[in-house]
Structure 1
Amino acid sequence: MNRYQINSSRLRGTARWLYHESGIRSVHVTGRDAWLIILARTCRMFAFGGTSLIMALFFNTLGFSDPQLGLFMTMTLAGDSVLSFVLTFMADSLGRRRVFFGAGLLMAVCGLVFFYFENFWILLLAAVIGVVSASGGDFGPFRAIEESVLSHLTNPETRSDVLSWYVVTSNLGSAVGTEVAGQVIESLKMRDGWSEKRVYHAVFVAYVIMGVANMGFSCFMTDNCEIIKPTQSMDEGAQTAQRLLSNSDEDEDVGDETVPQRKSRFTEISSTTRSIMYKLWFLLAVDCLADGMVSYTLTNYYLDRKFHLSKSKLGDLMSTNYILGSISTVFAGPLARHLGLVNTMVFTHLPSSVAVLLFPVPQGIVFTVILLFIRGGLNNMDQAPRAAFIAAAVKPEERTAVMGVTSTLRTLASLVGPSITGALADTNKFWVAFVAAGALRVAYDLGLWAMFVNVKLHEHEESGQDGSKARRVTDEEE
């Protein structure tokens, strides 16, 4: 074998190693639906990235006060939490693809309202009943259902990788959206007849387009996205008899089956699952309260007030921030395989929390930007392991409901933060929000590690390869 063949063999071996270790293979073998879900969220986060850059600045241009901005963000998150809670509990029965389509429609309609109107109460109403990201985060009905679908489509070996790429591409979408919005704003402002208000309105055209794109992606997804429930084969007469018997006060046998009494969706979540999730929900509420206080929309506003940066410069900084987050999240899957899900969540998120705590300290732009990049570069590395952790800790049929409750509680916790920060900003104590938020995030990280590092995972799952029950493992062993 000559030197060329040896080098070629080494290159192929390296490429195969990267293909497996990076998690791209896991996404590939999961199939078309995973690609469509990842692409849909990437487009959605492109729109959210643009709105996170301009939302606070747009409201300031319209003459709205800082407390009004805080109220708007709080009420928007409240509307998102209600919509997310309702749709995630209905998704499995209505059809997940139908919910995706409807949420995309709400996003497009909301973008149209922001394109045409300037009245605070009209914009607030549209944000509450529609889907708009006032903070740059994905708090609407999409994410919980998408994570449930991806967990349904994957197995314990591929799940962390697929969910990691789900986060990686969304960060890239946010980065591109923020960069494009910043450049477009500066370009249009230089044209005759383009006021600052009109420029900000124009950004919402992209929001409408991405809402329509999400509707289109849902139409190409397959039946594999839907939850498959076992059904009993019976003729029409047996079905009628079962319906009649289900109205009686006592359960009676129909063939070999017992007709179950109707229960609420929440009570169908097992007590074991709820005992785990109660602790996690409390910690997530603490974390999301902190994130709501210092969302990227409010961070942009803080940087603009402190350093008076141009919109293109601000867009460059936030775009770089998202790109760093994308690069780091590529390593979340491999780290989760080697360190465990909880260790990956804590050890990557803790430095980001410390960066938030110290963010107001520097008086110069350079060190402030360094802390911003540390925060953004590491902030999202816990997302995929967290979703994989929830999927591994609960029963497959509980995932959509559990992730829906998780998303709703996270949003409810987040909605208090903007009002607190708005009040602080109005009294020239904006910096206090970052100190308080950083301290809360550190408490979340330490509490997460203490409570969950030894939790047993994958007890309810079967191996996707041979159908045998997956090995019981602790997070440290995974």
Structure 2
Amino acid sequence: MGTISTLAHHMGFFTLINAPRDIHLIILLRCLRLSAFGAISLILVKYLKSVGIEETQIGLLLTLTFIGELIFSFILAHVSDRLGRRRIIILSSILMSVTGVLLYYFNSFWLLAIIMVIGIITPSGTEVGPFRSIEQSAISTLVKYEDRSDIFSWYTFSGGFSSGIGNFIIGYSLDKSGSDYSICFAYYSAIGIVLALISCLLSDKVEVEKDTSVAKNLEDDEASSSTPLLPSISPPKEKPNTLISYILPNFTEKSLNKLLLLTFLISLDSLGLSLSSKAWTVYYFTQRYLLDSASTGVLFGTASFIGAISCLIGTYFCKKYGPIRTMITSHSIASVLLIFHSLPINYVSMSSIFLIRAFVRTMDLPSKHLFISAVVEPSERTTAIGFINAAKTLVNTTGPIVSGYLASKDMLWLCFLIAGFLRLSYDFGLFIKFYGSREGANAAQ
């Protein structure tokens, strides 16, 4: 019994149980949303192909989803602290539901292009929209620093596990219905409505903390304005008038430098991820190994389950070895295994590599969430996470076009080769800039 209790402690189970009610609601929202995202990503490329869209056009449509996310998600995340985090989540959930309906009823390329830009849809099965940046920022507001790695790991676990459920449900349903894609879009739209209703239950505690330190300092300055201070104190330096300073006006110079460096490295990783997105990986496996819907759902659902469990194990490694070491080690192994996807091997070998990579690839996510939340000030978190996600989305716009072109030339395997080396570049950059550095040590505390 003691062993089980110790294991539960290391995996953050007790932290989750004792977390505030809003944390439980955020986890529930994450579960429902990722089950829908996982379901839609399993059929998106196959569905577009079935309505007469060519691979190169599909690549363009998937790129438009990233452009839409870049424009709207960053704006929504950026203004969420002023308009209200709960309100933005509700509106985004409704938009997600409408997107599912429109995608099914309109098959014209140009109408689909408009829907992809203004709607909320994911070709990767992962988060899109402003949800993640708002929820991660809310978690940092609601939870003490020492408990965040536990909550972030369960946040990630719930998403991966639920994405797997969505894969199984849709894979089985399509197999039984003879590829009736209306089931998937109905499921996606219904989940959006449920999300909007549950979001109404979030309390005001999820909203941004008021930074009273600035106001207090101003009051202290006014109170002591008549008292002479030490002479010859140099005035503070003005912030440089750069484009970045206008985009992120409230960031300190120290936080801004760290944020830009992290954003560059994460963008390299995201570019590799966009070349090997779930939608194209599903297409690659089904075309190369002639998988039916049920087999595809089982394979990708199992991978999601394995990845979800790996997140909890990643929490243990994060606590024991620190976030930087955990991030570099697990992510670099996953990147090498991604390169192996390009090899001309049989299905048993390929699926084994795929599942092993699924176990390793998500182990760094709790550490990554913890590290990003630690390197910027609390008042900067929502904007910082939104900025990073926007930068990721910007570089993601190139991936689907390249993948679509290579797929049309029967060279989709090359995407995995390029993607693996891009993601290894991210690991190398983390090692050079943060391994053993003061920032890395502070994040581990």
TM-score normalized by structure 1?
0.85
| 2:374 corresponding residue in structure 1 | 392
2:324 to 342, 345, 369: 342
User: Are residue 207 (structure 1) and residue 188 (structure 2) matched?
Assistant: yes
User: Are residue 147 (structure 1) and residue 136 (structure 2) matched?
Assistant: yes
Distance 1:83 1:19 in 2: 39
| 1:90 corresponding residue in structure 2 | 79
Distance 2:188 2:89 in 1: 16
User: Are residue 365 (structure 1) and residue 365 (structure 2) matched?
Assistant: no
1:224 to 205, 212, 235: 205
| 1:5 corresponding residue in structure 2 | none
Distance 1:265 1:413 in 2: 18
User: Are residue 133 (structure 1) and residue 133 (structure 2) matched?
Assistant: no
| 2:158 corresponding residue in structure 1 | 169
| 1:192 corresponding residue in structure 2 | none
Distance 1:149 1:320 in 2: 30
1:264 deviation in Å? Answer: 5.1
Distance 1:42 1:410 in 2: 23
| Higher-Rg member (1/2) | 1
1:344–1:382 Cα contact (<8 Å) kept: yes
Q: Which runs of 5 or more residues in structure 2 are unaligned?
A: 226-237, 239-244
1:230 deviation in Å? Answer: 4.6
Deviation by residue 1:324-357 (Cα, 9 ceiling, x = unmatched): 1011111111111111111111111111111111
Q: Which runs of 5 or more residues in structure 1 are unaligned?
A: 1-10, 190-195, 235-250, 459-472
2:64–2:113 Cα contact (<8 Å) kept: yes
CA gap 1:98/1:265 in 2 versus in 1, 3 angstroms = farther
Distance 2:167 2:57 in 1: 24
Report how many residues are paired: 425
| 1:110 corresponding residue in structure 2 | 99
SS of equivalent to 1:158: helix
Deviation by residue 1:42-78 (Cα, 9 ceiling, x = unmatched): 1111011111110010011111100111001101011
2:294 to 312, 317, 328: 312
Distance 1:344 1:444 in 2: 14
CA gap 1:230/1:438 in 2 versus in 1, 3 angstroms = closer
Distance 1:455 1:205 in 2: 49
Distance 1:148 1:40 in 2: 15
1:88–1:404 Cα contact (<8 Å) kept: yes
1:277 deviation in Å? Answer: 1.4
1:432 to 404, 414, 419: 414
Distance 1:154 1:446 in 2: 31
1:268 deviation in Å? Answer: 0.5
1:231 deviation in Å? Answer: 6.3
| 1:71 corresponding residue in structure 2 | 60
CA gap 1:253/1:150 in 2 versus in 1, 3 angstroms = closer
Distance 1:423 1:416 in 2: 11
1:255 deviation in Å? Answer: 5.5
| 2:229 corresponding residue in structure 1 | none
What is the 5 A alignment of 1:401-412? 401-412=383-394
The one-letter amino acid of 2:438's match is: K
1:49–1:136 Cα contact (<8 Å) kept: yes
The one-letter amino acid of 2:390's match is: T
Distance 1:81 1:265 in 2: 14
Distance 2:193 2:435 in 1: 42
| 1:470 corresponding residue in structure 2 | none
Deviation by residue 1:303-339 (Cα, 9 ceiling, x = unmatched): 1111111111011100011011011111111111111
1:345–1:385 Cα contact (<8 Å) kept: yes
What is the 5 A alignment of 1:186-201? 186-189=175-178, 196=179, 199-201=180-182
Distance 1:41 1:173 in 2: 8
Distance 1:151 1:135 in 2: 26
Distance 1:24 1:112 in 2: 38
1:269–1:398 Cα contact (<8 Å) kept: yes
SS of equivalent to 1:35: helix
Distance 2:343 2:210 in 1: 55
Distance 2:195 2:205 in 1: 18
1:139–1:411 Cα contact (<8 Å) kept: no
CA gap 1:252/1:109 in 2 versus in 1, 3 angstroms = same
2:259 to 277, 283, 289: 277
What is the 5 A alignment of 1:284-299? 284-299=266-281
Deviation by residue 1:208-245 (Cα, 9 ceiling, x = unmatched): 1111122122111111101121569x9xxxxxxxxxxx
2:123–2:278 Cα contact (<8 Å) kept: no
Distance 1:230 1:350 in 2: 38
More helix by share: 2
Distance 2:223 2:32 in 1: 49
Distance 2:104 2:56 in 1: 23
SS of equivalent to 1:136: coil
1:430 deviation in Å? Answer: 1.2
The one-letter amino acid of 2:329's match is: F
TM-score normalized by structure 2?
0.91
The one-letter amino acid of 1:224's match is: K
| 2:18 corresponding residue in structure 1 | 29
CA gap 1:363/1:253 in 2 versus in 1, 3 angstroms = closer
Q: CA-atom RMSD, angstroms?
A: 2.3
1:78–1:412 Cα contact (<8 Å) kept: yes
| 1:6 corresponding residue in structure 2 | none
Distance 2:223 2:293 in 1: 68
1:158 deviation in Å? Answer: 0.5
SS of equivalent to 1:229: coil
1:124 deviation in Å? Answer: 2.1
Deviation by residue 1:393-432 (Cα, 9 ceiling, x = unmatched): 1110000010010111111111210101111111121111
1:27–1:161 Cα contact (<8 Å) kept: yes
Distance 1:132 1:288 in 2: 17
The one-letter amino acid of 2:190's match is: I
Distance 1:376 1:256 in 2: 59
